[in-house]
Chain A
Amino acid sequence: NAGVTQTPKFQVLKTGQSMTLQCAQDMNHNSMYWYRQDPGMGLRLIYYSASEGTTDKGEVPNGYNVSRLNKREFSLRLESAAPSQTSVYFCASRRRDAGTYTEAFFGQGTRLTVV
């Protein structure tokens, strides 16, 4: 099982450039999430998609946009990258069963550096 797959694994951007981080899950999960991880701050939620066709802001959405392309794929876009967006980005997914959610499964992360 591939689980949650993120691409790319590493990326260096110049300030002002744009890019899209890709995430795909093969577990038939309803909900998908994007987090960023910064030293000493744990993981913070950027955006999430509770189900196909819906997206909502999380704790730190500024500077990002998302697209839930279909049930499997959830992409994160940086329109104009800034050094403050240097971070490790994680995608996660969960399944809803009878009104409750399973635990989240995480991808391996994308390490992004903005110079």
Chain B
Amino acid sequence: AQSVTQLDSHVSVSEGTPVLLRCNYSSSYSPSLFWYVQHPNKGLQLLLKYTSAATLVKGINGFEAEFKKSETSFHLTKPSAHMSDAAEYFCVVESGTYKYIFGTGTRLKVLA
């Protein structure tokens, strides 16, 4: 069975400091992994995706994530947080089927 665990429900950072949102997955197959962002009262927007190509994936708005098979992790990072990054972030795993399995989300707060 596939599953995904987002290790922090809330993360607070100061503007201009690095962001790290952690995600571990469990999958019987070679997975596809995604990060989505949801701004307040909005739909979900794709940040980036891993589909068995390069293990370091670059996304929109300066975000990137590294697929580490040995650690079953797919952590999301950004070198310098901006106020507009405040949102909820979802890690998603898909493997062997066409269904997404969502993590429970990490709410990112950016302090001025």
Contacts and interface: CB of A to CB of B under 8 A. Distances in A.
Interface of A: 4, 31, 33, 35, 40-45, 48, 50, 58, 90, 94, 96, 100-101, 103-109
Nearest to A44: B102
Interface residues of B, number: 20
Nearest to B46: A103
Most chain A CB atoms below 10 A, which of B34, B46, B49, B98: B98
B90 interface: yes
Most chain A CB atoms below 10 A, which of B45, B51, B99, B105: B99
Given A41-B104, A58-B99, 13 more contacts: A31-B98, A33-B100, A42-B103, A43-B102, A48-B99, A50-B98, A90-B43, A101-B98, A103-B49, A104-B100, A105-B46, A107-B43, A109-B41
Contacts of B42: 108-109
Contact of A42 (B34, B41, B51, B90): B90
A12 B98 CA distance: 32
B44 interface: yes
Most chain A CB atoms below 10 A, which of B41, B46, B94, B102: B102
B9 interface: yes
* Interface residues of chain A: helix, strand, loop or mixed (majority): strand
A63 B45 CA distance: 28
A42 B98 contact: no
Contacts of A35: 102
Contacts, number: 48
A25 to B, nearest CB: 13
A40 B98 CA distance: 24
A42 B103 CA distance: 6
A40 B9 contact: yes
Nearest to B94: A101
Most chain A CB atoms below 10 A, which of B36, B44, B45, B49: B44
Contact of A43 (B9, B51, B90, B94): B90
B98 A94 contact: yes
Contacts of A107: 43
A43 B93 CA distance: 12
A45 B92 CA distance: 12
